[in-house]
A = this chain, B = another copy of it.
Amino acid sequence: MERLVIKFGGTSVMDAERINKAAQIVLEQSAEGVQVVVVVSAMGHATDHLIALAQDVCSKPNARELDLLLATGEQAAASLMTMAIGRHGGRAQCYTGAAAGIVTDDNFGDAHIRRIDPRSLENCLRQGVIPVVAGFQGVTEEGEITTLGRGGSDTTAIALAAFLHAKRCDIYSDVKGVYTADPRLVAEARQLSSISYVEMLELARHGAQILNPRSVQIAIDRGVQVRVRSTFSPEDPGTLVTDHAKQRGHFTSMTCDTKRDCLAVSLGMPTSDSHHLRRFRSSRLHWKNSTVKLFAATGVDVELGNLLKHDPRIMVFGVDKKHADKAKALVLQASNGIRNLSAHVETDLACVSIVSGENNSAIEVEAILTLTRSNIPITFVTRSSHRFSLFVPTSKMHDALNALHNNRVLLAKAA
């Protein structure tokens, strides 16, 4: 019998009425003759409330205890969902992450799944019972409860789909699927019927809060078909995330992220003297390499960027706000051999990204021209094979998104 993992996000289980609605979706799918496994997030803003509570008790709560606390949110939602399925005539059983056999490392607060022992869930499915698994959590080899980081319920769902050999993982939330842009910000945004894994990964990593990036990586690694759909429009097939994107020819999606700062580093070296310049270039390269190594070793999330007008004395990085101060300290720490090095963090920026089947310079040029025509200043840009990102003032983010989305040339070039 085919298997389907269904995951409900926090807004889909926000209250008793929504939990019952979600339970009906489960039973409709189950009635179609597939074995269903349910994964739930904590109700609404439960996780945020628990974090606030912990911070009230103790300004810097220990990650181990915080995980025990946060795991209660999903445990509660899972038991309520199990009750709701029972109320509507289904047979369901509730599992914590530990009971579902989800074993993680002991990186409390951001644990990685090491393996899933599927025996208890397999046994449950064999008996015709629907397992309801608390998302976002696992257990270490030593039996300590861990959580998988923000959005970790997506990871639970997609990892379970992989380990249970499910035909698909349906991620239900309050959005109908993946759009060409966030429809709350761009009125003309249209829904996509499918998107490729790599494009989805770029979206997830650059501000689209549809799927957690780690869960997309698992989907890629294990070939899990994922469907993003809405609890409030269950008849809508949503967007399929897969390795065969049907609309690749036409597709560009955009996203934006206000959680990144610009770390600008000035390498105060005169450019007039050619001897000095050579020395400068050599030490710059050396400095850059050692800095990148430092970033990687300390887990700081940065991306090297480019100014629109190249200046060898200035290097810019896009950096996660949480890591900005640390990144600055690391940069200064690596400054051996560079005279007069100074670094500063520029905040209040938004990173607007264009994700496409394949990035190319035509897209980049058109995007830059579009923003320039709209008088939107571009601080710097970053790129990957499927993405081009422009850092603009936060106040201009909305305008930038709409200007880019309205540009038909850009859409065509992205094709």
Interface residues in chain A, defined as those with a beta carbon under 8 Å from any beta carbon in chain B: 15-16, 19-20, 50, 53-54, 56-59, 61-62, 64-66, 68-69, 71-73, 75-76, 78-80, 82-84, 86-87, 94, 96, 99, 143, 145
The residue that A62 contacts in the complex, of B15, B76, B82, with Cβ under 8 A, is B82
Provide the bound-state CA to CA distance between A76 and B94, in Å: 19
Give every chain B residue within 8 A of A66 (Cβ-Cβ): 79, 83
Residue of B nearest to A99 (CB): B143
A41 to nearest B CB, angstroms? Answer: 14
Roughly how many angstroms separate A7 CA and B38 CA in the complex, as a whole number? 37
Please name all residues of chain B whose beta carbon is closer than 8 Å to the beta carbon of A71 when the two chains form the complex.
Answer: 75
- Whole-angstrom distance between the Cβ of A377 and the nearest chain B Cβ: 44
Q: What residue of chain B has the Cβ atom nearest to residue A86's Cβ?
A: B62
Q: Which of B59, B73, B80 contacts A57 (CB 8 A)?
A: B80
CB-defined contacts of A62 to chain B, threshold 8 Å: 82-83, 86
B79→A68 contact, CB < 8 A:
yes
Name the B residues within 8 Å of A69 (CB-CB): 75-76, 79-80
Query: Min CB distance, A133 to chain B, in Å?
Result: 12
Other 17 A-B pairs with CB < 8 A, given A16-B56, A65-B94, A69-B75:
A15-B56, A20-B57, A57-B87, A58-B84, A58-B86, A59-B87, A61-B83, A62-B83, A65-B86, A68-B78, A68-B82, A69-B80, A71-B75, A72-B72, A72-B73, A72-B76, A75-B75
CB-based contact A65/B79 at 8 Å: yes
Partner of A68, one of B19, B58, B75, B87: B75
Known: A65-B79, A94-B68. A57 touches B143 (CB 8 A): no
Q: How far is the CB of A371 from chain B (nearest CB, A)?
A: 47
**A43 CA / B57 CA spacing, docked (Å):** 13
Do A53 and B80 touch across chains, with their CB atoms under 8 A apart? yes
Could you list 27 A-B pairs, sorted by A, with CB under 8 Å?
A: A15-B56, A16-B56, A50-B76, A53-B80, A54-B79, A54-B80, A57-B83, A57-B84, A58-B83, A58-B84, A58-B87, A62-B82, A62-B83, A62-B86, A64-B94, A65-B80, A65-B83, A66-B83, A68-B79, A68-B94, A68-B96, A69-B75, A69-B79, A72-B73, A72-B75, A75-B75, A99-B143
> CA separation between A128 and B96, bound complex, in Å?
30
Contact between B16 and A57 (Cβ–Cβ < 8 Å)?
Answer: yes
Most buried by B among A15, A57, A61, A71: A57
**Assembled-state Cα–Cα distance A143/B139 (Å):** 14
Complex: chain B residue closest to A83, CB-CB: B58
Most chain B C-beta atoms within 10 Å of own C-beta, residue among A19, A56, A58, A145 = A58
Q: What separation, in Å, do the CA atoms of A73 and B94 have in the docked complex? A: 17
CB-CB nearest in chain B for A145: B96
In the complex, A78 Cα to B68 Cα: how many Å? 9
Q: What chain B residues lie within 8 Å of A143 (beta carbons)?
A: 99
Docked complex Cα distance between A253 and B116 (Å): 57
* Distance from A331 Cβ to chain B, minimum over Cβ atoms (Å): 33
Chain B's closest residue to A143 (CB) is: B99
Chain B hits for A76, CB < 8 A: 50, 53, 69, 72
Q: In the assembly, what is the distance between CA of A57 and CA of B80, in Å?
A: 7
Residue of B nearest to A20 (CB): B57
Q: Which residues of B contact A50 (CB under 8 A)?
A: 76
Closest to A73 in B: B72
CA distance A87 to B66 in the complex (A): 13
Closest to A71 in B: B75
